Amino acid sequence: MSRSCPVALLSVVVLAIGCSSPMIGRTSTLAPASAAPELARVNTLLADLAERLRPGLVHVRVQRATSAPDDAPREEPVEPRRSTGSGFVIDASGLIVTNAHVVDGATTIQLRLADGRRFKGTVVGRDNRVDLALLKIDGATNLTVLPLGDSNRLRVGELVLALGHPFGLEQTVSFGIVSRKGAPLDVAVQGFDFIQTDAAINPGNSGGPLVNVAGEVIGVNSMVARNGTIGFAIPASLVQMLLPQLASKGRVDWGWLGVAISEVTDDDLDRLKLREARGVLVRRVMPGEPADQGGVRANDVIIGIDGLRLETPRDLQRVVSSTPVGKRVRVALLRDGLETEVEVTIGLYQDSEAATPEPSERTPRPPAPVPR
């Protein structure tokens, strides 16, 4: 009896160990994780939207000539500089929207579509002040056009997607919101506001579309703040306004008055004999320019153009810049407290002008963004 006890005890120990060990050759089945129905639906819709937009995205590859250093041997070949950017199809005829800085100085432009087809691109039109360019490819069929939406109706907090080819990585999508509207940038045409977003915009995203949840392009990704966390896009409403000129003339003719302006402050009221601080104060009139020829004087306060009420310098900058060159407009103004009206013919802004169109002396400027 005493001999059988150790054997029985050993059997019990082995049995216990066997029961506590993992089962060899068998796997446990875990229940699949599931998201809340509402979140799952949003997730699916965003993925479907990105998939639907990608065929309209274009990879822009650019070669630029590089001059050899002065001390380089003459027989040594000079490699061209290469860079990449983004764009999107705006018309089934083969028109592509991108940034001007993407194709600036390009000797060769190659456009790669989402399906892998490659075409040689040509510049139809370009405007460096807004950083917008229109390209053309010939012989392409079955192009997916991305429609332009109404960026004027855009609200802060709306969900957006930024599409492009950052760092040469093709068909990339980032997700975010509209962080701010009305972001004034000193590198763009004064009076026109850019869209600010926290959707990631990296080198190579330039020229790609910023898209709302309806699949409409509401902006063209253009630049980012130096800290890299805030991106800016050209509003679709401005793009829509400029495309006809880019397509027909290859450039944009911007309106010009030739005045230096600022806001009207409470300190100006007594001096200008005003009852309230409104309108746009003319600080200086440039000799021989349209405003001077039309009779506008320093210390005049412009309150309207062709019946359109003006409240701030940005209002005047926007209206004048977008008014056709050569058009004669009625300028309503206050002079010595009395309302009067003069007629001015809108002039053509020249890049060589020392001042920007209708420069504002008191317009706040954010940290300078950098192109992407």
Q: Residue 135 contacts by C-beta under 8 Å, 6 or more apart in sequence? A: 60, 87, 95, 96, 97, 98, 103, 109, 111, 121, 122, 123, 124
The C-alpha angle 334, 335, 341, rounded to 5 degrees, equals 60
Q: Are residues 235 and 261 in the same domain?
A: no
Q: What is the pLDDT of residues 246-284, one digit of tens each?
A: 999 999 999 999 999 999 999 999 999 998 888 999 999
pLDDT of residue 67: 59
Q: Are residues 312 and 226 in the same domain?
A: no
d(CA 262, CA 317): 11
164 forms bridges with which residues in the sheet? 172
Spatial CA neighbour of 57 closest among 207, 174, 195: 207
Q: Are residues 210 and 273 in the same domain?
A: no
Number of domains in the chain: 2
Residue that has been written with the tokens 């390209």 in this structure: 135
119 falls within a domain: no
The residue out of 229, 253, 277 marking a domain boundary is 253
d(CA 156, CA 86): 25
294 falls within a domain: yes
The residue out of 228, 253, 278 marking a domain boundary is 253
209 falls within a domain: yes
pLDDT of residue 223: 85
Chain CA centroid to CA 5, Å: 85
Please say if 351 is a catalytic residue: no
Q: Are residues 203 and 263 in the same domain?
A: no
pLDDT of residue 367: 41
The C-alpha angle 318, 320, 322, rounded to 5 degrees, equals 70
Spatial CA neighbour of 349 closest among 357, 339, 341: 357
pLDDT of residue 16: 45
198 falls within a domain: yes
- The whole domain housing 298 covers 255-348
233 falls within a domain: yes
Please say if 86 is a catalytic residue: no
Exactly one of 206, 222, 237, 360 is catalytic; name it.
206
203 falls within a domain: yes
Q: Are residues 275 and 265 in the same domain?
A: yes
The residue out of 230, 253, 276 marking a domain boundary is 253
pLDDT of residue 181: 86
Q: Output the domain CATH number for residue 310.
A: 2.30.42.10
pLDDT of residue 353: 43
Q: Are residues 204 and 221 in the same domain?
A: yes
What SS3 class is residue 19?
helix
| Cα atoms in the Cβ-side hemisphere of radius 13 Å centred on 140 | 26
Exactly one of 83, 86, 131, 237 is catalytic; name it.
131
Please say if 270 is a catalytic residue: no
d(CA 218, CA 261): 30
Q: Which residues in the chain land under pLDDT 50?
A: 1-2, 4-21, 23-25, 78, 353-357, 360-368
Q: Are residues 249 and 259 in the same domain?
A: no
d(CA 282, CA 9): 105
Exactly one of 59, 83, 86, 101 is catalytic; name it.
101
Are 256 and 271 in contact by the 8 Å Cβ rule? The answer is no
Q: Output the domain CATH number for residue 246.
A: 2.40.10.10
